[in-house]
């Protein structure tokens, strides 16, 4: 009986010992691989067989320590022709938003990331090594890897990965991430590549022009030989047009149907000539001498400048007036632009002077403005 009892206890002890060893063994095994979190790749285009930039983002679960590697493998059909492990400019890598120095293979320095290998044989891939002597990138860090011309830290990237075809994507469209050298993270994501993802948008902008007028009636107080008079209301022309070659505003008057000016049609008829008694193009009006004309100034608005013609810009003084011409066939430009413009305002001032020969009575003139867009 005692022998049996000893055997029984020994057996129990053996079983317990085995269980304890098994449980302890689990604690001593290597760390299990973990999938990175929030793994994504934003491409500049998903159109087949064209070059694209890649922005890969993920949150690491394991710390990325010095001398450990991270490999990105692309599915069949992608091409990284032009990339090399000697061209660091094609890659940017950030750790929680902080740029990491990227170096060519063989140029490792502490806290830099080396482009160790670029596998250009289909299926292509890239392997990065966190250089010896580096401070570990902590678990839960957000890593962003930019590959292509979107890499701008330091020198600008000049190579891009060529997309696979849509048919190849239907077979395999997954990028895989694999840690190495003790870095245990892994991951995979699916990419969509399509035959075409470009939307052609068509639109037509119709030609347009507007000319808005104010001050369509203006009156001189009694004209006297003792002063140069200004009418009570200025005329304004507000112009907008998308004409690529600009706008031209022309002007002409009625006069006496033969010559321009302020006309007294009742007997005794009389014409105060524009710009003066000799119908000059420009005249500086003076008290006691017949003369009538207009001057212009441009203001406000945007786009191309509305420039007043030298005939009407009063550059010779406040009483320098431009002379009008009779009829549409003799119209002259008062202001013009060389391109599209919006809400430019032409302000026109009217002045007159009379000699002692001008008979008493009512004088009138009709001045006509025409806006023309040049498309």
Q: Quick check: is 345 in a domain?
A: yes
Q: How many C-beta atoms lie closer than 10 Å to residue 33's C-beta?
A: 14
Which pTM value belongs to this model? 0.66
Instruction: Output the pLDDT for position 34.
Output: 85
Q: Quick check: is 280 in a domain?
A: yes
Q: For residue 324, with 0-12 CB atoms within 10 Å meaning exposed, 13-18 middle and 19 or more buried, which class applies?
A: buried
255 with 307, same domain? yes
- Collapse the DSSP code of 114 into the 3-class scheme (helix H, G, I; strand E, B; otherwise coil) and give the result: strand
219 with 177, same domain? no
272-311 pLDDT tens trace = 999 999 999 999 999 999 999 999 999 999 999 999 999 9
37-63 pLDDT tens trace = 999 999 999 999 999 999 999 999 999
122 with 235, same domain? no
How would residue 147 be classed by pLDDT, with cut points 50, 70 and 90? very high
Cβ within 8 Å of residue 347, ≥6 positions away: 234, 235, 236, 296, 297, 298, 299
Q: What is the CATH number of the domain that holds 63?
A: 2.60.40
Residues 86 and 72: their CA atoms lie apart, in Å, by 17
Q: What is the mean predicted confidence (pLDDT) over 337-354?
A: 99
184 with 306, same domain? no
186 with 237, same domain? no
104: containing domain: 34-190
Q: What is the mean predicted confidence (pLDDT) over 84-99?
A: 98
- Collapse the DSSP code of 145 into the 3-class scheme (helix H, G, I; strand E, B; otherwise coil) and give the result: strand
Domain final residue, candidates 128, 161, 190: 190
Report whether 271 contacts 256 (CB < 8 A): yes
Q: Quick check: is 114 in a domain?
A: yes
Which candidate, 217, 321, 319, places its Cα nearest to that of 279?
321
Phi/psi-derived region of residue 279, left when phi > 0, alpha when psi is between -120 and 50, beta in every other case: left
262-271 pLDDT tens trace = 999 999 999 9
262 with 155, same domain? no
The two three-digit tokens of residue 65, written as one number: 């320590």
Strand partners, 322: 282, 294
Q: Quick check: is 214 in a domain?
A: yes
Q: What is the mean predicted confidence (pLDDT) over 139-149?
A: 99
Q: How far is the CA of 245 from the CAs of 130, 256, 304, 307, in angstroms?
A: 60, 35, 10, 14
Residues 240 and 117: their CA atoms lie apart, in Å, by 61
Could you give the number of structural domains in the chain? 2
Q: Quick check: is 313 in a domain?
A: yes
Instruction: Output the pLDDT for position 344.
Output: 99
How would residue 32 be classed by pLDDT, with cut points 50, 70 and 90? low
Which candidate, 270, 208, 217, places its Cα nearest to that of 242?
208
Average of per-residue pLDDT values in the chain: 93
Q: Quick check: is 22 in a domain?
A: no
Strand partners, 361: none
How would residue 154 be classed by pLDDT, with cut points 50, 70 and 90? confident
pLDDT above 90 (res 239): yes
pLDDT above 90 (res 5): no
């Amino acid at each position: 009986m005692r022998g049996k009892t000893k055997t029984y206890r020994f057996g129990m002890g053996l079983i317990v010992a085995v269980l304890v060893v098994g449980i302890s063994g689990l604690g001593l095994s290597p760390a299990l691989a973990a999938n990175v979190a929030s793994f994504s790749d934003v491409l500049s285009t998903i159109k087949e067989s064209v070059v694209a930039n890649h922005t890969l983002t993920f949150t690491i679960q394991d710390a990325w320590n010095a001398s450990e590697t991270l490999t990105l493998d692309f599915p069949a059909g992608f091409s990284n022709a032009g990339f090399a492990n000697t061209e660091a400019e094609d890659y940017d890598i950030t750790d929680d938003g902080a740029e990491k120095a990227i170096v060519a293979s063989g140029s490792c320095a502490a806290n830099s990331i080396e482009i160790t290998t670029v596998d250009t044989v289909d299926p292509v891939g890239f392997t990065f090594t966190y250089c010896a002597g580096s401070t570990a990138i902590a678990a839960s860090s957000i890593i962003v890897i930019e590959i292509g011309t979107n890499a701008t830290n330091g020198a600008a990237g000049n190579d891009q990965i060529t997309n696979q075809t849509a048919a190849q994507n239907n077979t395999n469209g997954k990028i895989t991430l694999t840690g190495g050298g003790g870095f245990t993270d892994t991951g995979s994501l699916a990419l969509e590549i399509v035959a075409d993802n470009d939307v052609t948008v068509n639109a037509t902008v119709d030609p347009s022009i507007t000319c808005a007028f104010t001050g369509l009636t203006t009156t001189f107080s009694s004209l006297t030989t003792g002063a140069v008079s200004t009418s009570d209301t200025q005329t304004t022309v507000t112009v907008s047009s998308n004409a690529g070659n600009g706008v031209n505003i022309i002007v002409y008057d009625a006069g006496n149907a033969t010559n321009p000016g302020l006309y007294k049609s009742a007997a005794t008829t009389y014409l105060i000539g524009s710009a003066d008694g000799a119908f000059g193009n420009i005249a500086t009006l003076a008290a006691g001498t017949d003369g009538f004309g207009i001057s212009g100034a441009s203001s406000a608005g945007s786009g191309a400048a509305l420039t007043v013609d030298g005939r009407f810009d009063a550059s010779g003084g406040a009483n320098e007036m431009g002379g009008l011409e009779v009829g549409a066939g003799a119209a002259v430009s008062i202001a013009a632009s060389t391109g599209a413009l919006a809400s430019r305002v032409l302000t026109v001032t009217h002045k007159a002077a009379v000699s002692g020969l001008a008979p008493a009575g009512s004088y009138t003139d009709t001045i006509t403005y025409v806006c023309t867009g040049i498309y």
